Structure 1
Amino acid sequence: LPASLKVLLENMLRHEDGKTVTKDDILAFKSWLENKGGVSHEIAYRPARVLMQDFTGVPAVVDLAAMRDAAQKLGASADAINPQVPVDLVIDHSVMVDSFGGENSFEKNVEIEYKRNQERYEFLRWGSTAFKNFRVVPPGTGICHQVNLEYLGQTVWTKDEDGETVAYPDTCVGTDSHTTMINGLAVLGWGVGGIEAEAAMLGQPVSMLIPEVIGFRLDGKMA
């Protein structure tokens, strides 16, 4: 079985509950191997984390805030509304070029950006402290997929379950079109839309077919 599908199979085994992930879903990987990929079977994939850039991340935080308001009106605890998996919002589409050609141009542009969108950043700052499992990477840090590669991808996650530490592969979905670059670090990643990302953020699985896998065999040696 290709290494990428081994990670996906582990994801199925860990979340097998007889409902969203069934025995048939797991056996479909065996059929995939026996038929050399000739299997069309839908599975429910649960990523370890969600990556967002500001275009889709800000509306997601607004939705979470609205859900807290609704929960409070219904007599439930607003603090119970949180992302179910770790979410990183990377602000990388905001900074405009007002100053250029000088030694301090970058710092000036970031400073102007904070003043220009002060209310927006105050809201995101509130979100980063109000919600669990939610982090905001400020503007000027780097572009989304670069930050994902250099800082956020961690290959292996751990968490406590029933008093034991469980280790499992890092996997993600992201709303940035270059999210799939994380596969170069052996982290299984897919690019998704904002609605799918929000669903994953709230603990819902991402529905997909067992993917096609294309392999390369390299012969020879480096000169």
Structure 2
Amino acid sequence: MLLENLLRWQDGESVTDEDIQALAGWLKNAHADREIAWRPARVLMQDFTGVPAVVDLAAMREAVKRLGGDTSKVNPLSPVDLVIDHSVTVDHFGDDDAFEENVRLEMERNHERYMFLKWGKQAFSRFSVVPPGTGICHQVNLVNLEYLGKAAG
């Protein structure tokens, strides 16, 4: 799996011949003189880990801007799907509109965080956000994002 990944992404810059040799050395000696490169085809994140990642990307863009660089070059290397997962709190139950009311309250309570993620979705390429109330990460991955594996594979 590691070798296939290295060969898939070998471009002479992010993955080099030396990276492949490091893996071969690790397989032979259980030791490598360098880090073994790994580049997933895509990344699925929950909002609890995704929000700090977007903050980091925004901070990197700000640093690149201060240094006079091209901020549009700061983007995730692999496509990222951030799922706002397990965020709906049960305040209302037992009636037909309970779910919709709980989602409305969730949006109200977390408006600032969701606006930030919406900005991130617009600011960064290869970054999407699955809104609250859509499902948990595993369900969204299997049902709604499954096509990505077919497209990338």
Q: TM-score range by the shorter chain?
A: 0.7 to 0.9
Q: Is it true that 1:14 corresponds to 2:23 in the alignment? A: no
Q: Does 1:76 align with 2:75?
A: no
Percent identity between matched residues is 58
Correspondence for 1:152 among 126, 145, 152: 145
Aligned to 2:82: 89
Q: Name the amino acid aligned to 1:80.
A: K
* 8 Å contact kept, 2:25–2:31: no
Task: Encode CA deviations 1:12-55: one digit per residue, 9 max, x unaligned.
Answer: 32245223x223524866x6xxxxxxx84564322111111011
Deviation at 1:113, TM superposition (A): 0.6
Q: Where in structure 1 do 4 or more consecutive aligned residues deviate above 6 Å?
A: none
Structure 2 residue ranges without an equivalent (≥5): 11-15
Does residue 1:133 correspond to 2:132, yes or no? no
- Paired position in structure 2 for 1:25: 23
Q: Partners in 1 of 2:22 and 2:70 — Cα distance?
A: 38
Following TM superposition, by how much is the alpha carbon of 1:148 offset from its aligned partner in structure 2, in angstroms? 1.0
Q: Output aligned runs, 1:160-179, within 5 Å.
A: 169=153
TM-score w.r.t. the length of structure 2 is 0.83
User: 1:95 Cα deviation (Å)?
Assistant: 1.1
Matched, 1:123 2:116: yes
Q: Name whichever structure is richer in strand by fraction.
A: 1
Count residues with an aligned counterpart: 144
RMSD of the alignment, in Å?
A: 2.1
Partner of 1:35: none
How many angstroms apart in 2 are the aligned matches of 1:104 and 1:26? 58
1:105 & 1:75 partners in 2: Cα distance?
51
Deviates more, 1:124-133 or 1:148-157: 148-157
The answer to whether the 8 Å contact 1:128/1:134 transfers is: yes
Between Structure 1 and Structure 2, which shows a larger proportion of helix residues? 2
User: Would the aligned equivalents of 1:99 and 1:109 in 2 still touch at CA under 8 Å?
Assistant: yes
Q: Return the alpha-carbon distance in structure 1 between the equivalents of residues 124 and 23 of structure 2.
A: 33
Specify the SS of the correspondent of 1:10.
helix
How far apart, in 2, do the equivalents of 1:100 and 1:72 lie? 48
Which amino acid counterpart does residue 128 of structure 1 have in structure 2? K
Task: State the TM-score, normalized to the length of structure 1.
Answer: 0.58
Please name the residue that 1:47 is paired with: 40
From 90, 100, 103, the counterpart of 1:110 = 103
Distance 1:9 1:63 in 2: 30
Give the letter for the 1:18 counterpart. Answer: D
1:100 equivalent in alignment to 2:93: yes
Give the whole-Å Cα distance in 2 for the aligned partners of 1:87 and 1:64.
12
